[in-house]
Amino acid sequence: MMRSLTYGAMGLRSKVTLAGFLLCGVAAPLKAETVHLLALGDSLTQGYGLIEQDGFVPQLRSWLADHGHDVRIVNAGVSGDTTAGGLSRVEWSLTPEIDGMIVALGGNDLLRGLPPESSRANLEGILEVAEAQEVEVLLVGMRAPGNYGPDFKATFDAMYPELSEAYGTLYYPSFFEGIVSEGEAPASAAGLMQADGIHPNAEGVSRIVEAMGPAVEELIARVGADEE
């Protein structure tokens, strides 16, 4: 009789332990999957003139990790690339695991004085590829200097928000938003630029990432919403 009672108590304890284990297993939060982003850009994205960890992509990755995001960012920045170059490689750059894309192109179009209409057509082509592959996009703008004339500047500056609205992407006004005010040239950011006056130094990149980070978080949130 005592043996039966002991066995019964042990069996009951085992069932309670198993139930508790299962309950804990159900209640435990599932680890979020890694978000895969592609940063399509030029030398600003690539990290020109900087050691690797000081570049835009590594600093952005670190910023996102510090804010609780598990993100892998593919650095698809190519020094000297124009919007045409970005268009020529976007399709094969968007490998199957890519969930979202940061597009930061146009600076070299400005340096070469290329027609804004051509830049617009190239950016539109990039967004069409992203749309066809169901990849969320953060479109990063670039502001033209005034030396090309008011019409050029107005046309160039307007293409980013207009394309963003047309394709339903997220929009960030300017890559240099974190270090210069609207109407100022990047070279005016004393102490935050490299000697060429075109590329930010490590501290400049840090401030750019700090300013842009929340917009990238919005991109991550969109990716997550698409997967639910």
β-strand partners of 35: 71
| Closest to 83 (Cα-Cα) out of 102, 100, 111, 104 | 104
CA distance 222 to 67: 17
> From residue 200, how far is each of 41, 54, 136, 177, 184 by CA, in Å?
15, 10, 27, 12, 14
The full 3-state SS of 22-91, as one line of letters, equals HHHHHHCCCCCCCEEEEEEECHHHHCCCCCHHHCHHHHHHHHHHHCCCCEEEEEEECCCCCHHHHHHHHH
Q: Is there a contact between 145 and 177 (Cβ–Cβ < 8 Å)? A: no
Strand order in the sheet with 100-104: 71-77, 35-41, 100-104, 136-140, 170-172
Residue 114's contacts (CB-CB under 8 Å, 6 or more residues apart) are 82
Catalytic residue among 4, 66, 151, 196: 196
Helices (H), 168-201: none
| Closest to 34 (Cα-Cα) out of 220, 222, 226 | 220
Active site residue 199: yes
Catalytic residue among 36, 42, 43, 206: 43
Catalytic residue among 36, 157, 164, 199: 199
Active site residue 67: no
Active site residue 99: no
Which residues does the annotation mark as catalytic?
Answer: 43, 196, 199
